[in-house]
Structure 1
Amino acid sequence: MRYVIVGSGPAGLNAIEAIRELDKDGEIVLITAERYVGYSRPLITYLLGRKVTEEKMYYRTEEFLKELGVEVKPATKVERVVPEKKVLVTNTGEEITYDRLLLAIGGKPFVPKIEGLEGKEGIFTFTTWEDEERVENYIKKNNVKKAVVLGGGLIGLKTTEALMELGVKVTIVELADRILSVTFDRKASEIITNALKEEGCDVITNDTIVAVKGEDTISSVVLKSGREIQTKLLIVAIGVRPNVEFLKDSGIEINRGIVVNERMETNVKDVYAAGDCTEFYDLIDGQRKTIAIWPVAVAQGRVAGYNMAGGNVRYPGGIPMNSVELAGIPTISVGHTNVEGDEYEVLSHEEGNTYKKMVIKDNRLIGVVLVNDIDRAGIYTGLILQKLDVSSFKDKLLDENFGLVYLPKEFRKKMLEGEVKIWLE
């Protein structure tokens, strides 16, 4: 059996390990467009901010993969998939055959059309190690002291923190009315915004960049409001979309992402997909979505790998989740946290920079926001995943000491015996 894996992120690498658990001898080829293989993408901002060394970036090395008998093809971009021939075509024209194929191709940054954006130095996206190298080298070469980050989501905020660690003055520009608008409500966002401002960061909301000025190198950006900000560096961090454009003529079904079933199979025989490029069911509302987070990619990758090697396992679906420290404040959001309507009940408590929010629907906990007090995130996540009726202890959810003691006896027993598994951990 010849397995070909496209993509060296958590989905692809966990698929390889799952394959090897069932098939010790099959041929495995790993293709990645990146030069670096087996590193943790969330750490690139820490690398830029000098909080981790290059050695700490890897969670799986090329040597480890070679010990598993994997042929690694770095810096190789797949440009076409021809399922009827079971062939991939790379950017060099090489044709690579497969018996079973996994597309773990992740996402790619969305860059909007902005006047003057093209053809200038000093404008970057920031999602790969190679992006980090380019930004770091540019800052050193041009003695950058001011930067603008377009986008107030997680990528934008973590990049902002890294730049500030280097002594760069940062201005965040966000189109929405607050930063982290997808996962945070107004109060949680306000806490992080104030903390960033205290550290010297400017945060501009309800605005966006409409033009970039400069000859060969960026010199300033012009906002929709008319404000002009001088800068030598612009990081575009609006968001990431599934990297699926090159598959449009392949016959593989694509909506927003690659459509897969519970076995991570696409509509094309022997072609699987996993990770940020896929579209599967949200456990809370049953809607097909792309949930681009590490734990989902790991789980999907393992399911795909087992099934490619002849197993029969199913992926139950995922939920949105983010855990990140910003401006020294730990935060976690799980499930559906920005909701409107009479069918939802929202409980919240705030005290200084500590904030908790619980979203309940039909007596089930469906969303949690925790700012500065995240100790019980695992218990809340378990309640969401298990869809447990919380009506008997709903009034205790916000208690400082909320824990297993409040849960039904049978559920506590299962958790303590390890029968209730929180795969997000």
Structure 2
Amino acid sequence: MKKNKFLVIGGGIAGVTCAEQLSSLCPTEEVALITASKLIKAVKNYQKVSRTLEQFDVEERPMIAMETDFPNVQVIHNKLTNLDTDKQVAMLADGGEIQYEMVCICTGARPRMIAANNPFVLGIRDTESVQTFQKRLHNARRIVVIGNGGIATELVWEVQGCEVLWAVKDRHISTTFVDPGAAQFFLPHLNKEKPDTSHEPIKRHKYAEQGEGDPVSADGGAALGPDWTADLQMRGITKTGHAVHVDYEVEVRSVMSPEEFRISGKPTTQPPGFSTEQGVVPNVQLFLQNNFTMSNEGGIQVNDQMETNVPGVFAAGDVCTASWDWAPHWHQMRLWSQARQMGAYAARCMAARDQGDQVHLDFCFEMFAHVTNFFNYKVILLGKFNGQGLGNDYEILLRVTKGVEYVKVVLHDNRMAGALLVGDTDLEETFENLILNQTDLSPFKDHLLDPDIDIDDFFD
């Protein structure tokens, strides 16, 4: 059996990025990529917004496209059944085996479901589940969206033509990303009509899997990318536009039928149509027998070289937990932006190991930075944007212009620790520098968010 120098498991953003980087860094070596889906997810239109902020689109591509662009990469459409790290062999569902010298696990995460086998509950995590959602939404008059993260927030905004009950366990919406003030800023937009974007050019090609009727395993598809709603028609059976109602501080306990489900233990008889579920857990079931060191939240622990406790086995993306000493203003969130960064960095670490070397921790891990869109607003998160890890020892500065922008700065010891920017503020690069440089802001604090002052002049 031929032994591959590198093996990557997973056709999502982390896995494909890792395989592409390995191909470029080690052009004479064979790279094998195992994917359970016939479509892989490749990063497109990548641009560096600032030193730590980046934007990109995700393109679903046929497997053969990657082999064409990266001739030393072999894409294997199959399902992994076992990974024997002692023998360095990956076993596949069709009985095949792949030997390797180094492997990177990029199997992502799977939805956390309230009723995994309930026909009325659909977990949205990958492209296949979105396609199923679209088909079922077509005949729906009312749905329940359960969850308060990024996908739930985007879904509530995108769905048209049916009533939406948004069940959240918190006191405000979108709590994974924003504070109560920003949530209040967004609330007036919950039931606004979406702007017509049908005339805008499509930024990425879209492909359908061959044999769409084939069953897809719960962990078979790659995670959604940053623009997963682009060019999707999410419309129910009625002609109404947005009709969203939010239930706060509730928990869905069970779903008995399309006509009855339980919120916080009390039966509700308003027919929801069907429910969508929220949250993810690292997809590690196939690897539990390998004695990997696991984190409390279930991810495979990796060191600052993206390597597990088993030599030669690396991990990247949602499946792993960064277990090195984090920089003061970085933290891990299971986001597509960090999946890309981890996949690229893991490839560099693996290529360096092949040369008997190590690389320094990438600068992208120096400060948390993420850009996304909610309710048609650009949202930028920097550093400890919600005071993560600071307890009550921080100060908040706010600037809010209704319907235009929401700017929050987190100060710790008169130095910027984080920022949340909603709207076209053009403050991200300046605030990024202030967080990284830890400038003492005592002399400027009272004027930092003054809209009549160009703060770039202070810190040019």
Q: Report the secondary structure of 1:249's partner residue.
A: helix
For 2:6, the equivalent position in structure 1 comes to 3
Measured after TM superposition, the shift of residue 118 of structure 1 is: 5.2
Q: Contact 2:25 / 2:351 at 8 angstroms: preserved in 1?
A: yes
2:305 aligns with one of 253, 263, 273: 263
Structure 2: which amino acid aligns with 1:193?
A: L
2:458 aligns with one of 391, 400, 406: 406
Greater mean alpha carbon deviation, residues 260-269 or residues 190-199 = 190-199
Structure 1: which amino acid aligns with 2:361?
A: Y
CA deviation profile, 1:215-241 (whole Å, cap 9, x unmatched): xxx33322116361312121112x112
Structure 1 residues 16 and 186: CA distance shift in structure 2, 3 A = same
Q: How many Å separate the matches in 2 of 1:213 and 1:252? A: 38
Structure 1 residues 295 and 364: CA distance shift in structure 2, 3 A = farther
Q: Contact 1:293 / 1:321 at 8 angstroms: preserved in 2?
A: no
- Kindly report the root-mean-square deviation, in angstroms, between the aligned alpha carbons of the 2 structures: 2.6
Q: Contact 1:80 / 1:88 at 8 angstroms: preserved in 2?
A: yes
CA deviation profile, 1:97-143 (whole Å, cap 9, x unmatched): 1111011121111113xxxx454433211111110111122233xx1
For 1:358, the equivalent position in structure 2 comes to 409
For 1:213, the equivalent position in structure 2 comes to 256
Moved over 6 A (4+): none
1:141-290 matches, within 5 Å, as: 143-164=139-160, 167-198=161-192, 199-214=242-257, 218-224=258-264, 226=266, 228=268, 229-237=270-278, 239-255=279-295, 256=297, 257-280=299-322, 281=324, 283-285=326-328, 290=332
Structure 1 residues 355 and 248: CA distance shift in structure 2, 3 A = same
Structure 2: which amino acid aligns with 1:315?
A: L
Q: How many Å separate the matches in 1 of 2:408 and 2:154? A: 23
For 1:62, the equivalent position in structure 2 comes to 63
> Does 1:343 find its partner at 2:393?
yes
Q: Contact 2:16 / 2:40 at 8 angstroms: preserved in 1?
A: no
CA deviation profile, 1:36-63 (whole Å, cap 9, x unmatched): 212579xxxxxxxxxxxxxx86166534
Greater mean alpha carbon deviation, residues 382-391 or residues 240-249 = 382-391
For 1:415, the equivalent position in structure 2 comes to none
Q: Contact 1:291 / 1:319 at 8 angstroms: preserved in 2?
A: no
The structure with the greater share of residues assigned to helix is 1
Structure 1 residues 32 and 378: CA distance shift in structure 2, 3 A = farther
Structure 2: which amino acid aligns with 1:15?
A: C
Q: How many Å separate the matches in 2 of 1:182 and 1:118? A: 23
Q: Report the secondary structure of 1:99's partner residue.
A: strand
Q: Report the secondary structure of 1:315's partner residue.
A: coil
Structure 2: which amino acid aligns with 1:278?
A: C
Q: Contact 1:396 / 1:402 at 8 angstroms: preserved in 2?
A: no
In structure 1, the gaps of 5 or more residues are 42-55, 413-425
Structure 1 residues 96 and 318: CA distance shift in structure 2, 3 A = farther
Q: Contact 1:6 / 1:12 at 8 angstroms: preserved in 2?
A: yes
For 2:337, the equivalent position in structure 1 comes to 295
Measured after TM superposition, the shift of residue 204 of structure 1 is: 0.9
For 2:215, the equivalent position in structure 1 comes to none
Structure 1 residues 304 and 40: CA distance shift in structure 2, 3 A = closer
Measured after TM superposition, the shift of residue 180 of structure 1 is: 1.6
TM-score, normalisation: structure 1: 0.81
Q: How many Å separate the matches in 1 of 2:43 and 2:246? A: 28
Measured after TM superposition, the shift of residue 254 of structure 1 is: 1.5
Measured after TM superposition, the shift of residue 348 of structure 1 is: 1.1
Q: How many Å separate the matches in 1 of 2:376 and 2:171? A: 23
Report percent identity of matched pairs: 25
Q: Contact 1:103 / 1:272 at 8 angstroms: preserved in 2?
A: yes
Greater mean alpha carbon deviation, residues 202-211 or residues 221-230 = 221-230
Structure 1 residues 88 and 321: CA distance shift in structure 2, 3 A = same
Structure 1 residues 190 and 396: CA distance shift in structure 2, 3 A = same
Q: How many Å separate the matches in 2 of 1:366 and 1:338? A: 9
> Does 1:99 find its partner at 2:150?
no
For 1:12, the equivalent position in structure 2 comes to 15
Q: Report the secondary structure of 2:39's partner residue.
A: coil
Q: Contact 2:254 / 2:262 at 8 angstroms: preserved in 1?
A: yes
> Taking CA–CA contacts closer than 8 Å with sequence separation of 6 or more, which of the two structures ends up with the larger relative contact order?
2
Q: Contact 2:111 / 2:125 at 8 angstroms: preserved in 1?
A: yes
Structure 1 residues 330 and 274: CA distance shift in structure 2, 3 A = same
Q: How many Å separate the matches in 2 of 1:173 and 1:40? A: 32
Q: Contact 1:296 / 1:318 at 8 angstroms: preserved in 2?
A: no
CA deviation profile, 1:313-352 (whole Å, cap 9, x unmatched): 2334365444333223332232223336452121112232
Q: How many Å separate the matches in 1 of 2:110 and 2:306? A: 21
Structure 1 residues 312 and 80: CA distance shift in structure 2, 3 A = same
Q: Contact 2:17 / 2:43 at 8 angstroms: preserved in 1?
A: no
For 1:315, the equivalent position in structure 2 comes to 361
Q: How many Å separate the matches in 1 of 2:311 and 2:117? A: 42
For 1:124, the equivalent position in structure 2 comes to 122
Greater mean alpha carbon deviation, residues 239-248 or residues 276-285 = 276-285
> Does 1:22 find its partner at 2:21?
no
1:108 aligns with one of 107, 110, 115: 110
In structure 2, the gaps of 5 or more residues are 45-56, 193-241
